[in-house]
Structure 1
Amino acid sequence: MGRHVVGVATDLPPGTNKILLLEGRSVGVFNVNGTYSALKNSCPHQGAPLCVGKVTGMTLPSNPGQYLYGREGEILRCPWHGWEFDITNGKSIFDPHKCLVKTYEVAVEADADAEETPSVETYTVKVEGAKLVVYI
């Protein structure tokens, strides 16, 4: 897969995502607590548009009678049948070793154009008749 600039990092704040078409593939890009992840927008179960599903958390291992909830914003639920996947690595919650969603590398790169260029103080110069005039 080639390199694709898909936007400015600040345009995708934590807890948001966007779906893009890259090289003919539908890809969801997510900001999970300041870390960016990208997943193929297709559930391995029946090909549902996975990345339009609900982003949520999950119950965590706990003692009997306790219900601990965590990982808010890290779990993506398929909109068709409710299968759940870890956005950060594409692994399914129910069978992380066999059922996965394709993931893609995401990087935040410095914008060379945005680097501060040194400036020089300038003044307006105007020719008035034969005189050279500088306005400060």
Structure 2
Amino acid sequence: MSGTRKHFVTTVDELDESEHVIVDIEEREIAVFNLEGEYYGLLNYCVHQSGPACEGRLTGEVVEDEDGELSYERDGEFVCCPWHGWEFDIKSGHNLARPDEYRVPTYEIVEEGGDLYVTL
């Protein structure tokens, strides 16, 4: 892709599973998450009121089946903005409550030789 650049973030060894790191790249704060050995990049910006979305806790989602039974799924795959509790899917950036309306930008994370890079 023309115009894309890779920026070093950290090493695989320094980013444990279920952890994340926030880095400043080209005037953007980008969080890089390790979800079961897969890496995802998410802008540290809440579309609700410009809060630091990725500085909140990791959560899952409550899902109701056809019989009305509730279950807790995808534990650790959502980040909850610490300002007002808006939750975002780390993999897609979509807001948990209103996925068709609100989304935080995501970034591709590339692993090369044990190093992690974000591509912009």
Same fold, TM exceeding 0.5? yes
Q: Please, which runs of 5 or more residues in structure 1 have no aligned partner?
A: 112-136
Q: Which residue of 2 aligns with 1:38?
A: 41
Task: Determine which structure has greater relative contact order: mean sequence separation of CA pairs < 8 Å that are 6+ residues apart, divided by chain length.
Answer: 2
1:60 and 1:11 mapped to 2: Cα distance? Answer: 33
TM normalised by structure 2 equals 0.86
Q: Does 1:71 align with 2:101?
A: no
The number of residues matched between the two structures is 110
Q: Does 1:22 align with 2:25?
A: yes
Q: Does 1:48 align with 2:45?
A: no
The CA RMSD measured in Å over matched residues stands at: 1.2
Q: Does 1:9 align with 2:16?
A: no
How far does residue 109 in structure 1 lie from its aligned partner after superposition? Answer: 1.1
Q: Which residue of 2 aligns with 1:105?
A: 108
How far does residue 75 in structure 1 lie from its aligned partner after superposition? Answer: 0.8
Q: Please, which runs of 5 or more residues in structure 2 have no aligned partner?
A: 115-120
Q: Which has the higher strand share?
A: 2
Amino acid at match of 2:38: T
Q: Which residue of 2 aligns with 1:117?
A: none
TM normalised by structure 1 equals 0.76
1:23 and 1:109 mapped to 2: Cα distance? Answer: 21
Q: Does 1:80 align with 2:83?
A: yes
Amino acid at match of 2:64: P
2:5 and 2:101 mapped to 1: Cα distance? Answer: 27
Q: Deviations over 1:56-82 (max 9, x none)?
A: 111113232x22011011011111111
How far does residue 54 in structure 1 lie from its aligned partner after superposition? Answer: 0.7
How far does residue 22 in structure 1 lie from its aligned partner after superposition? Answer: 0.4
